[in-house]
Structure 1
Amino acid sequence: MKNILIINAHHASSFSPGKLNGTLVECAHKQLSEKGYQTQVVKVDDGWDAEQEVEKHQWADVIIVQSPVNWMGVPWPFKKYMDEVYTVGMMGQLCNGDGRSHEAPKKNYGGGGTLSGKRYMLSLTFNAPEEAFNDPDEYLFQGKSVDDLWFPMHMNFRFFGMEGLPTFSCHDVMKNPEVESDLERYARHLAAHL
């Protein structure tokens, strides 16, 4: 039996009400529950209690972060969630400090995580088309991948000792959405990796 924590990081606005991210959360919750996994869903826009969120991170075998890409990163309320929850978790629940010791103060930075054996997965929605990535001739990303762009988020989970599952991403969601196809791909992605 696996415990899955799904975090909906979307921040609603008149410009972006969050239907796609909400639908992807529902898809994951339904599919994983039907497989017999225990799931909990956190909607960041609804607020949180930092200590309870730390407990959910400890409970989970897998954490799925469902997030739109806002200005190449997470929406600001999710950054606040991370700052508050992960700071509380620094007291031994998610990590034992930063991994360094008095004997070797310059070594092993980030190696203090207490969640080894647990995994995480990023599921992202982009306005950018898929073709904007991995192509050195494309202006903005200069040949970089989605995971290159989200390297800092990967490092946050690595700081806790977690291992990543392959990232899932939807592209061109505002100008050329293909929601039905994205949902089918997501169902296959979940089936393959969880």
Structure 2
Amino acid sequence: MSNILIINAHHYYSFSKGELNAALAARAVEVLESRGHATRLVVVDEPWDANEQVQNHLWADVILVQTPVNWMDVPWTFKKYMDDVYTAGMGGELCNGDGRSSKAPALGYGTGGSLHGKKYMLSLTFNAPKQAFNNPREYLFQGKSVDDLFFPLHMNFRFFAMEGMETFVCYDVMKNPTTESDLVRFVAHLEQNFEPCLT
């Protein structure tokens, strides 16, 4: 059995109520538990305790972040979650500082992570269409990929010595939603990345 922490990072707005992210998080619970994994679901918009969330990270073999993309980043409420939880875990639970020593302060930044052997997965919902990425002719992203855009979030997990899994993306969710096919693709993505647990 693997332990999977699923974080629904959506923040409620009247124009974005979070149904898709909630549906994806719920589908992840359903699919992963049907394959023999244990799950815990955290909803960032609901009350949470930083120390308890540190323990959730220690419990988990994989952290699945389910988040919308707000202004090219995660919602501010999830940034607050990261600031509070990850600061609470800097005493050795998630990392031992930044990995440097006073003897060589210019070397080894970011190598103090304590979560060796653990993995993470990003599952993102975008208003942007798929064609906006990996295309140097497109204005905004200038040929960059989704993972290029989310390099800072990848580095947050790398700071804890975690290994990334393949990112999942739902594109164009406001102007051209394809929710049913997105959910089908998501199930296939989970089944490809999480083997059934032997009983």
The TM-score, its normalising length taken from structure 2, stands at 0.97
* CA deviation after TM superposition for structure 1 residue 13, in Å: 1.2
Query: What residue is the counterpart of 2:181 in the other structure?
Result: 181
* CA deviation after TM superposition for structure 1 residue 73, in Å: 0.3
d(CA) in 1 for partners of 2:178, 2:192: 21
1:123 equivalent in alignment to 2:123: yes
> What amino acid is aligned across from residue 159 of structure 2 in structure 1?
F
d(CA) in 2 for partners of 1:190, 1:35: 10
* CA deviation after TM superposition for structure 1 residue 173, in Å: 0.2
d(CA) in 2 for partners of 1:47, 1:103: 42
SS at match of 1:46: coil
d(CA) in 2 for partners of 1:102, 1:193: 40
CA RMSD in angstroms comes to: 0.5
Query: What residue is the counterpart of 1:43 in the other structure?
Result: 43
Q: What is the total number of aligned residue pairs between the two structures? A: 194
**Unaligned runs of at least 5 residues, structure 2:** 195-199
Identity %: 65
d(CA) in 1 for partners of 2:179, 2:155: 29
Deviations 1:138-184 (A, max 9, x none): 00000000000000000000000000000000000000000111011
Query: What residue is the counterpart of 2:30 in the other structure?
Result: 30
1:110 equivalent in alignment to 2:101: no
d(CA) in 2 for partners of 1:109, 1:59: 26
d(CA) in 2 for partners of 1:58, 1:106: 29
* CA deviation after TM superposition for structure 1 residue 104, in Å: 1.3
Deviations 1:51-86 (A, max 9, x none): 000000000000000000000000011000000000
> What amino acid is aligned across from residue 182 of structure 2 in structure 1?
D
d(CA) in 1 for partners of 2:9, 2:48: 12
d(CA) in 2 for partners of 1:51, 1:61: 18
**Unaligned runs of at least 5 residues, structure 1:** none
